[in-house]
């Protein structure tokens, strides 16, 4: 059995690594992993910058699933620490605790506005929005209109580039779950772990050499098992004959034969290059929308800028949506260096003028905005660097599932082809979702399992045996 994996991000690399374990047992004859860039990790890679180590924005790994956590520890071993999470919302020059704490919110909003927010909340309890198929209606029903406008509207529209009444409620249901104003206030008053929303963990495991270390180590283990990694080799298309995978064609034109292909390339690109795809499926694939990210790193001659790992920037007057301070993760990232590196995130479409701006213009924009937050204090910005990440967010526009479902159904008819990962499955995955997709994709090949990977990060409950990663290893989740 010869297998090709396209893309060395969390999903693709996990699938390749798990499959490589079959090389020793003879279940697999050859595994080739193709990565367009010269480095593994995808959106979760780490880079060396100004004598420090940084990620592509903030990356927090957390899972309740024993299989995911066991694999993570198998790869990272003891080279990690536990980070006490602190993230806040920056809005109208004030900091709001995240998750919400009643006393903090009351102080920042002021008595009058806080009362109006509570009244707005109870209006929704008495006269709820009936149709909650959009992000705006979903959040309004659970928080009230005033809190929606304060803490959800601006940030979400920055991220997605569309109005919240055009954004599907899937984004809210996946990221906010069942949290409500009542639950948030109860959590802050009772301070009980049992009442903390499950996506807002107080601590998380973080590799000492950055998030990318997980995938660098996984790649090394993959090669030790006999797998092959081909860097700077892009795949043009998957070759299919009579709805069965026959191999791949590289951008160079070279054609290679494989019996199985696991793809993490953007779903729209995969569909457009398949030779037998019906025209209506191509049209649906072309309607899928991806959002681009621009990361702007600033080097500052100060070590105590602010205590958060990252801040959500809800202020409408600022274009940046999130600011990461790498000084507040683990000291191994910065070592003896006496500077801070912060990262400002911006989200654009290809047609937006900012996407085509020069690095110098973007750095000046970031310098100006960071100074305007007041976070710079008496520090000085010494240098800047720009990294562009195209198509990194699949946009959950209203009713997108009606266009995505026929694509999923069509791909299911192609034998020995699996599409996984944030790009490949058009899912707004966290690392744990993509790792889990990789595990199950490998099982579909090695064990002839029949996992429905389209359900990951939607209604698929992976927590069959719950556990969490602690400083001493794996522990049963309480």
pTM of the model: 0.92
Mean pLDDT of the chain: 90
Q: Is pLDDT above 70 for 183?
A: no
Write out the E strands in 183-339: 203-207, 228-231, 235-241, 244-250, 255-257, 260-263, 290-300, 310-313, 322-325
What is the C-alpha to C-alpha distance for residues 147 and 164, in angstroms, rounded to an integer? 14
> What residue segments make up the domains of the chain, in order of their start?
2-47+59-81+209-288+398-459, 101-176
Give tens-digit pLDDT for 435-453. 999 999 999 999 999 999 9
**Per residue in 84-130, pLDDT tens?**
999 999 998 999 988 777 778 878 999 899 899 889 999 999 999 98
Band (pLDDT 50/70/90 cuts) for residue 301 is: very high
Burial profile 353-369: b = 16 or more Cβ within 10 angstroms, e = fewer = eebebeeeebbebbbeb
Averaging pLDDT over each range in 120-124, 155-159, 296-300, which range is the top one? 296-300
- At residue 243 the predicted structure's pLDDT band, cuts being 50, 70 and 90, is very high
* Interval 353-400: pLDDT, tens: 999 999 999 999 999 999 999 999 999 999 999 999 999 999 999 989
Contact 452, 440 (CB under 8 A): no
- Using alpha carbons, select from 209, 265, 207, 211 the residue that is nearest to residue 238: 265
Please tell me the predicted confidence (pLDDT) of residue 198: 46
Pair 5, 33: CB distance under 8 Å: yes
- Asked if the model's pLDDT at residue 463 lies above 50, the reply is no
Cβ(86)–Cβ(375) below 8 Å: no
Name the DSSP letter for residue 149.
Answer: H
Per DSSP, the three-state class of 467 is strand
Query: Chain centroid to CA 394: how far?
Result: 10
Reply yes or no on whether the pLDDT at 459 is more than 50: no
- Helix, strand, or coil (residue 320): coil
Q: Categorize the per-residue pLDDT at 172 as very low, low, confident or very high, splitting at 50, 70 and 90.
A: confident
Q: For residue 336, is pLDDT > 60?
A: yes
Percent of the chain predicted with pLDDT > 70: 92
Give, for 370, the enclosing helix (H) or strand (E). helix 359-373
d(CA 275, CA 290): 23
For residues 346 and 324, what is the distance between their CA atoms, to the nearest angstrom?
Answer: 12
Task: Kindly give the pairing relationship between strand 87-91 and strand 310-313.
Answer: parallel
| Fold type of domain 2-47+59-81+209-288+398-459 | FAD/NAD(P)-binding domain (3.50.50)
């Amino acid at each position: 059995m010869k297998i090709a994996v396209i893309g060395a991000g969390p999903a693709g690399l996990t699938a390749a690594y798990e499959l490589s374990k079959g090389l020793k047992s003879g279940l697999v004859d050859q595994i080739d992993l193709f990565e367009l860039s010269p480095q593994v990790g995808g959106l979760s890679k780490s880079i060396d910058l100004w004598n420090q180590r940084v990620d592509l924005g903030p990356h927090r790994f957390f899972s309740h699933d024993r299989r995911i956590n066991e694999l993570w520890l198998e790869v990272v071993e003891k080279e990690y620490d536990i980070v006490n999470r602190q993230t806040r919302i920056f809005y109208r020059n004030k900091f709001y605790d995240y998750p919400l704490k009643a006393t903090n919110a009351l102080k920042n909003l002021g008595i009058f506005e806080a009362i109006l927010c509570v009244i707005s909340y109870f209006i929704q309890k008495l006269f709820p929005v009936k149709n909650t198929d959009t992000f705006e209606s979903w959040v309004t029903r659970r928080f009230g209109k005033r809190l929606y406008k304060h803490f959800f509207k601006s940030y979400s529209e920055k991220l997605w580039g569309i109005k919240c009444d055009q954004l599907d409620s899937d984004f809210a249901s996946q990221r906010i779950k069942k949290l409500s104003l009542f639950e948030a206030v109860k959590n802050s008053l009772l301070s009980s772990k049992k009442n903390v929303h499950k996506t807002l963990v107080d601590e998380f495991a973080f590799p000492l050499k950055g998030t990318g270390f997980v995938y660098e180590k996984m790649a090394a283990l993959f090669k030790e098992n006999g797998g092959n990694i081909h860097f700077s080799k892009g795949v043009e298309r998957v070759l299919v004959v009579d709805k069965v995978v026959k191999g791949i064609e590289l951008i160079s034109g070279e054609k290679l034969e494989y019996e199985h292909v696991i793809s993490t390339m953007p779903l729209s690109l995969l569909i457009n290059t398949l030779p037998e795809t019906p025209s209506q499926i191509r049209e649906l694939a072309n309607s899928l929308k991806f959002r681009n990210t621009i990361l702007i790193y600033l080097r500052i001659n100060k070590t105590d800028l602010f205590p958060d790992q990252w801040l959500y920037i809800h202020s409408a007057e600022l274009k940046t949506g999130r600011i990461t301070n790498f000084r507040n993760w683990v000291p191994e990232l910065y070592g003896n260096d006496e500077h801070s590196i912060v990262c400002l995130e911006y989200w654009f479409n290809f047609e937006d003028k900012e996407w085509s701006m020069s690095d110098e213009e973007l750095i000046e924009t970031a310098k100006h905005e960071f100074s305007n937050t007041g976070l710079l204090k008496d520090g000085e910005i010494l240098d800047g660097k720009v990294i562009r990440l195209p198509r990194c967010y699949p946009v959950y526009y209203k009713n997108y599932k009606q266009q995505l479902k026929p694509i999923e159904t069509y791909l299911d008819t192609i034998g020995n082809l699996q599409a996984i990962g944030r790009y490949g499955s058009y899912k707004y995955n966290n690392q744990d979702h993509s790792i889990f997709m990789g595990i199950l994709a490998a099982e579909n090949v090695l064990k002839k399992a029949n996992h429905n990977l389209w359900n990951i990060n939607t209604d698929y409950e992976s927590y069959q045996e719950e556990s969490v990663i602690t400083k001493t290893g794996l522990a049963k989740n309480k």
